[in-house]
Amino acid sequence: MQGTIAQVIALTTYGNAFVVGAPAYDVSSFYPTNSTFIFCEYVRFVYLRQKGDTLEVAYADNPPMWFARMKKDGVYAIRMIYGPTEGKKLGDKQIADRKLVGFVGGGGRWLIETITHNGSDFWAARWEVGDQNRADRRIWRVTYGRIASNRPTLERQAIELYELKARLADNLAAIGNFARMRKLEGFAKAFDAGLAQLNAKTSIKACTTTI
């Protein structure tokens, strides 16, 4: 999976666990050891303030501090928001999002929505290359900026977890078969492994999520 998207997923899932007070949740095990931060020099959070010029004001120096401040500010849920773009141009050709998903910043626009009883804030990531000669290979400097605040929270249809699992299983099986038909065994094995993991005998509590 593309690293920038994986990081948004990680921040959303771990952030939700933190703000709802999941039992035995240890935020210290998340950052910077989570695999989505392995090549990041830092991951910071800022908001924008208009005072003549637009200024970036520090909000949190790292993800655990961001989680704590959101909880203090009354955030009770976090969502991933996806929006398609027109892709990018290569010469005279327009390259679709699906062909750019493997590149940093490609594959559409992913935001994080943090929800309070007063409305929603939206956060967008900026990835910049720092010192490319670092021995630990942590070359990426990541800044999440709050690009909108106190916006109306859109209603989303509730979907049962089991329904989402069934839909994902169908999609994994279909793309696995597609890969095999085209003799792309490496991809087929990856999709089969994902399907096997999804169908493993683990305890899934009945719950509802939103998209």
In this prediction, residue 15 has a pLDDT band, given cuts at 50, 70 and 90, of: very high
Which tokens hold the place of 93? 């050709």
Assess whether pLDDT exceeds 50 at residue 204.
no
Beta strands in the chain (DSSP E): 40-51, 53-60, 77-83, 88-90, 93-95, 109-116, 119-129, 140-151, 158-160, 208-210
Per-residue model confidence as pLDDT tens digits over 30-53: 898 999 999 999 999 998 877 666
Q: Is the pLDDT of residue 209 over 50?
A: no
Contacts of 83 (CB under 8 A, 6+ apart): 108, 109, 111
Contact status, residue 139 vs residue 128, Cβ threshold 8 Å: no
**For residue 206, what pLDDT is reported?**
40
Residue 22: what pLDDT? 64
- Per residue in 81-90, pLDDT (tens digit) is 887 666 555 5
pLDDT at 208 over 60: no
Domain extents in the chain:
3-151, 158-210
Q: Is the pLDDT of residue 207 over 50?
A: no
**pTM score over 0.75:** no
Task: Summarize pLDDT for 155-192 with one digit per residue, the tens.
Answer: 776 667 788 889 999 999 999 999 999 999 999 999 99
